[in-house]
Chains A and B, each alone.
Chain A
Amino acid sequence: MHNNNVVKTPTPSITTTEKPLLADSLSASTPPKPSVGVAGLVALATSGCGGGGGSSGSTGGGNQTSSAASSVAPQPLYTKAEAARFLLQAQFTATDEEILAVRTSGYSAWLTSQFNAPIDQTGAAWLTASGHTTPDDKGNYFNPVFGDWMAWNQLLTGTGQVRKRVALALSEFFVVSLSPIDGFWPAMLIAHYWDLLNAKAFGNFRNLLEDISLNPAMGFFLNTKGNLKEDIASGRQPDENYAREIMQLFSIGLYELNLDGSVKTNAQGHPIETYVQSDITNLARVFTGYDWDYSKVTQQNGFEPYPVPSPEFTGGRMAFDANKHSNLAVSFLGTNIPANTPGADALRIALDTLFNHPNTGPFFAKQMIQRLVTSNPSPAYVQRVATAFNNNGANVRGDLKAVWRAILTDTEARTLLNNTIAGKLREPIVRLTQIARTFNVSSSNGKWEIYDLSNADTHLGQAPLRSPSVFNFFRPGYVPPNTALATHALLAPEFQLHNETSTAGYINMMTSFIQSGYADVKLNLSAIESLAADAKALVEWLNLHLTANQLSTATTDLIQQALEANPVISASSTSAKYDRLYAAILLVAACPEYLIQK
């Protein structure tokens, strides 16, 4: 793999509302602590290096960290709000340390540092360390809830937030859901899938496409596991599920696209379908012959009337059995795979065909932009990201680092548009993760006992790795019916989860979570404790760190006045102070100006 990340699009740092702070303002911010995964950068900043290139309106994509040491304080490249806004698109939180690091190193260099950061602990390793992979007499090997605990532990703890944020976005594109997975070790199955997305999030799309195709959890979810070749005598046909969904959802989509993501039309003005049923029936043959790999499994007796396998089959790739693989010729999308082509070769040819299809770049690019930045990117923005997918600048196609960089440093991402349609609805998983991490969430006993939060009446209406189907929690083309959004032909995918009950369920859950946490999982408000007696400062702190200053003055005034209705001074009781802190966080977390991330 090439590692040469060339950002081809100019990325001026512009907002319509703010100017970059001067260097002396930086000293007023919280002193950097080397406690985050950007320690190297923070060290750079505190030693006074890296001030080069930091003029206002400079490009985010350049290399600003190459100048020699000097005693001058680093010149921040962006305002705090600009840096926070970038961080809240690229990951979950915007702490003071992270804001400082971004302002000092620049967007692109900061991203590079994140791309190079190692994975700290995998989901599978956490399950193992927590004892959830050693069979017990409670039948833990059948229990999927450890998969929920694993997912939340991964999202709420550890470093490598950018990796995890984009892995979450990938999990909503290459969807596998824990919900239908049953049998032995469902938690390990979903953990290995999550770990795969994390491990390959900064790799190449083509490799990822192959890895997910052969992943055991995906094999279960979309039925490649146990998929058998045709049988003329009985009329049995290969299962078509994976062949259909890898085309419709994981690579090319239904209609031919232009590079900018718009739908191509034929002479009659109709969309052009990318494939027909016979393409699916043919491609289905490629995905026959696979099953879970039990070769490394040991059987353990004494738990059930039958042996319990060890969980090795849940990771790696599925096993291939040539005897169960269709040897028929495959003709799909204009590619012909001759009869009797070995299974691995057939798979390679098929995946190459999908990977190299002109749709794949724009199809993937637009949805990733929607996940991270905005529901309604301009065609030009989609085209710039799709171009980076097609060629990272070093003639490599499918370089995911180039895709993330193109999305996050694009002028359209970095410009705070002063219009009435910008941004997207933060999805509930991201809201909870952001707030929990911002307030130093911890577990009192290490269990992270957060169950499936999919119930919209009582919880989030969304839970990581728990999509109700392969079509994700929401569709990229979702338009809320009979709304002004529909009138203006605007997409709003996350609104598919928003209705009269889910809006109440979310606010109720946050009311409880902010104050009491969830099971063993609790917030720590020490970061804002000292602001309890200063409502204005408290609201300012929350506005910057949770919304990148996207609350209007009217809103911050309203919140401040509401908080001041119950006076709190430094001598006030702890409970009075904390009531104010809880209230302040809730008012922000429930506020539409926060929920719509511009």
Chain B
Amino acid sequence: MHINKINDMTRRAFLKRAGAVSMMGVGAPLALNLAGISEAAAFEASDYKALVCVFLFGGNDYANTVVPYDTANYDLYSSIRGGGAGRTAGGIALGRNALTATALKTITPQTLTNNIQYALSPELKSMASLFNSGKAAVQLNIGPLLTPLTLAQYTGSDRVKYPLPPKLFSHNDQQSIWQALNSEGATRGWGGYMGDLALSSNSLSTLTCISASGNAVFLAGNNALQYQISPSGAIPIWAAKGSAFNSSAVSNALKKLITQSSPHLLENELAAVTKRSMDLEEIVNAALNPVNLSTSFDRDSKKNSLADQLKVVARLIGARNVLGARRQVFFVSLGGFDTHDGLNENHPKLLAQVDEAMNAFYQATVELGVSEKVTSFTASDFGRTLASNGDGSDHGWGGHHFIVGGAVNGGQFYGTAPQISLTSDDQVGQGRLLPSTSVDQLAATLARWFGVNSSEINSILPNVSRFASSNLGFMK
């Protein structure tokens, strides 16, 4: 079996991109549009669709997010996590009574491993409602894989037939693999590859891939670039907008200095970003300003940066017609999930923010009339151990994730539920889940909905053909 397609892909993309960059030049007249070439024919989009990646930095504790609820499996969970007598909270286990309100009820009956039933964390009340009303799905035990893998294959020595994703359990590398299917240093992500195909569908192709959360490799394609937006919109460079220190000449000189090309590659890249920033600022803000949502993104007056980010994403979607956007990929994030310590104290606060933000975002898409056109999904470095280290959990591999939107076949679980065990063959020790679904499969399922055709899916996700299906079924 020939496994390492990533390298071929990288090389091919490298050659293409070298051409793209030189074509773009650094002094391109306007940074509104990216180089129009693509590795493949772009799809023709007449409608609007958006994908939103909600990245939970640090590695989300899957076991206290999607929690065993039937008594048999709950008891196993409680025993491993140090729960109290009478199914009360203890150690890092949640109490069972607290889970009643967030118990998940599938739309159609489903029988999962060992007849497990799940509840969500008590903080995920809105997410549970979205699930129970069919607007959210749970993808069970998903993580990076290069090929389907059993425990015996994982512990065996045949790395040619059964390669492992590089640097398992390492934060930065697994973040990169989730976003870009390769360890740190990867320069193109699968959101960006989808963006490549969408560039020609958008009037302003620079607004195809947008981050509200710092630089993310997820959004970089062969031609697609990340555009950064702040929660308050685009940031004007005030001194470059006509007058600085009572001088228009100074303002003009500033604008020239910070945007002009340079033969020095670092200076040039610095200026290219600033030029993009300035070229788009007035256009973006003019489009955003009239978009006022009645949906509240703040139900408890507490700070929630994820809600702030998703709010501006919703407003951008509200401005889609003014901006001429038909296909967009967004990236937002929340940090703090590396709960080695203080899991009981910190994890619920984080999930409460996820719940507030993702629910408000869904409701905003309803308000905007695009709930069936916008799909958000969670991702994270890795799942964590099921075993406790006293008051937290350690780095793991597979985890459970949410897909939310009106186009989601919600109210269902997808994938294979793991056993609640530290010794079963679906984990690699301490309850570090051996994924039964790969990130590539998730990406392929979302890409197909986004409009990417089958052959392009195989090009974007070269390993997906090794898995049973490139369609997990959670999208309508």
Q: Which residues of A contact B (CB under 8 A)?
A: 180, 222-223, 225-228, 234-241, 244, 248, 254, 273, 277, 280, 375, 420-425, 456-457, 468-471, 475, 477, 479-488, 490, 492, 495-505, 507-508, 511, 515, 555, 558-559, 561-563, 565-566, 579-580, 582-583, 586-587, 590-593, 595-596, 598
**B249 touches which one: A236, A555, A562 (CB < 8 A)?**
A562
The answer to whether B231 has its CB under 8 Å from any CB of chain A is: yes
Which 8 A-B residue pairs are closest in the complex by CB-CB distance?
Answer: A481-B220, A565-B249, A562-B253, A504-B235, A500-B277, A499-B228, A457-B230, A592-B267
Q: How near does chain B come to A566, taking the closest CB pair, in angstroms?
A: 5
Query: Known: A475-B184, A484-B265, A500-B228. Contact between A226 and B247, CB under 8 A?
Result: no
Residue pair B389, A237 in contact (C-beta under 8 Å): yes
**A226 touches which one: B244, B264, B268, B390 (CB < 8 A)?**
B390
B270: nearest residue on chain A (CB-CB)? A592
Query: Known: A240-B395, A244-B395, A504-B235. Contact between A565 and B17, CB under 8 A?
Result: no
The answer to whether B169 has its CB under 8 Å from any CB of chain A is: yes
A489: nearest residue on chain B (CB-CB)? B14
The answer to whether B392 has its CB under 8 Å from any CB of chain A is: yes
Residue pair A484, B269 in contact (C-beta under 8 Å): yes
Among B136-144, B286-294, B336-344, B406-414, the stretch that binds chain A is B336-344
Residues of the B chain whose Cβ atoms lie less than 8 Å from the Cβ of A593: 262, 267
Query: Known: A495-B269, A500-B277. Contact between A226 and B336, CB under 8 A?
Result: no
A505: nearest residue on chain B (CB-CB)? B235
Residues of the B chain whose Cβ atoms lie less than 8 Å from the Cβ of A424: 266
Residue pair B269, A239 in contact (C-beta under 8 Å): no
A234: nearest residue on chain B (CB-CB)? B82
Residue pair B225, A482 in contact (C-beta under 8 Å): yes
A273: nearest residue on chain B (CB-CB)? B167
Residue pair B232, A457 in contact (C-beta under 8 Å): yes
Q: How near does chain A come to B301, taking the closest CB pair, in angstroms?
A: 20
Contact-residue bracket for chain B: 35 or more
Residues of the A chain whose Cβ atoms lie less than 8 Å from the Cβ of B215: 480, 495-499
**B250 touches which one: A481, A482, A496, A562 (CB < 8 A)?**
A562
A324: nearest residue on chain B (CB-CB)? B390
The answer to whether B101 has its CB under 8 Å from any CB of chain A is: no
B388: nearest residue on chain A (CB-CB)? A236
Assembly CA distance A583 to B248 (angstroms)? 11
Residue pair B269, A492 in contact (C-beta under 8 Å): yes
Residue pair A592, B21 in contact (C-beta under 8 Å): no
B180: nearest residue on chain A (CB-CB)? A481
Residue pair A471, B244 in contact (C-beta under 8 Å): no
Residue pair B336, A180 in contact (C-beta under 8 Å): yes
Residue pair B265, A469 in contact (C-beta under 8 Å): no
Residues of the B chain whose Cβ atoms lie less than 8 Å from the Cβ of A248: 170
**B273 touches which one: A235, A503, A596 (CB < 8 A)?**
A503
- In B194-222, which residues have CB < 8 Å from any A CB? 211, 214-215, 217, 219-222
Q: How near does chain A come to B356, taking the closest CB pair, in angstroms?
A: 21
**A482 touches which one: B222, B239, B395 (CB < 8 A)?**
B222
**A228 touches which one: B170, B272, B390 (CB < 8 A)?**
B390
The answer to whether B387 has its CB under 8 Å from any CB of chain A is: yes
Query: Known: A234-B82, A236-B388, A483-B21. Contact between A499 and B169, CB under 8 A?
Result: no
Residue pair B245, A555 in contact (C-beta under 8 Å): no
Residue pair B266, A425 in contact (C-beta under 8 Å): yes
**A507 touches which one: B217, B239, B247, B264 (CB < 8 A)?**
B239
Residue pair A482, B230 in contact (C-beta under 8 Å): no
A-B contact pairs, 12 of them (CB 8 A): A477-B184, A482-B188, A496-B214, A497-B215, A498-B215, A499-B228, A503-B237, A504-B236, A561-B249, A563-B247, A579-B247, A592-B271
Query: Known: A500-B280, A501-B277, A583-B247. Contact between A480 and B395, CB under 8 A?
Result: no
A249: nearest residue on chain B (CB-CB)? B172
Query: Known: A499-B228, A501-B230, A559-B253. Contact between A235 and B387, CB under 8 A?
Result: yes
A231: nearest residue on chain B (CB-CB)? B390
A501-B235, A582-B245 given; 17 more Cβ-contact pairs under 8 Å: A240-B395, A241-B340, A273-B167, A420-B265, A456-B230, A482-B221, A482-B225, A485-B269, A486-B187, A487-B14, A487-B18, A503-B237, A504-B235, A562-B247, A562-B250, A579-B245, A586-B250
Assembly CA distance A486 to B215 (angstroms)? 15
Assembly CA distance A515 to B250 (angstroms)? 15
A277: nearest residue on chain B (CB-CB)? B169
**A562 touches which one: B230, B252, B277, B392 (CB < 8 A)?**
B252
The answer to whether B458 has its CB under 8 Å from any CB of chain A is: no
Assembly CA distance A556 to B275 (angstroms)? 21
Residue pair A469, B258 in contact (C-beta under 8 Å): no
B58: nearest residue on chain A (CB-CB)? A469
The answer to whether B276 has its CB under 8 Å from any CB of chain A is: yes
- In B6-55, which residues have CB < 8 Å from any A CB? 14, 17-18, 21, 26
Q: How near does chain A come to B324, taking the closest CB pair, in angstroms?
A: 19
The answer to whether B422 has its CB under 8 Å from any CB of chain A is: yes
Q: How near does chain B come to A315, taking the closest CB pair, in angstroms?
A: 21
Q: How near does chain B come to A228, taking the closest CB pair, in angstroms?
A: 5
Assembly CA distance A503 to B215 (angstroms)? 13
Query: Known: A240-B389, A484-B21, A515-B245. Contact between A490 and B265, CB under 8 A?
Result: yes
Residue pair B265, A485 in contact (C-beta under 8 Å): yes
Residue pair A508, B235 in contact (C-beta under 8 Å): yes
Assembly CA distance A241 to B395 (angstroms)? 8
Q: How near does chain A come to B416, taking the closest CB pair, in angstroms?
A: 23
Residue pair A236, B335 in contact (C-beta under 8 Å): no
Residue pair A558, B256 in contact (C-beta under 8 Å): yes
Max chain B C-beta neighbours (<10 A), residue from A239, A423, A496:
A239
Residue pair B273, A498 in contact (C-beta under 8 Å): yes
Residues of the A chain whose Cβ atoms lie less than 8 Å from the Cβ of B270: 425, 495, 498, 503, 592, 595-596
Assembly CA distance A228 to B387 (angstroms)? 14
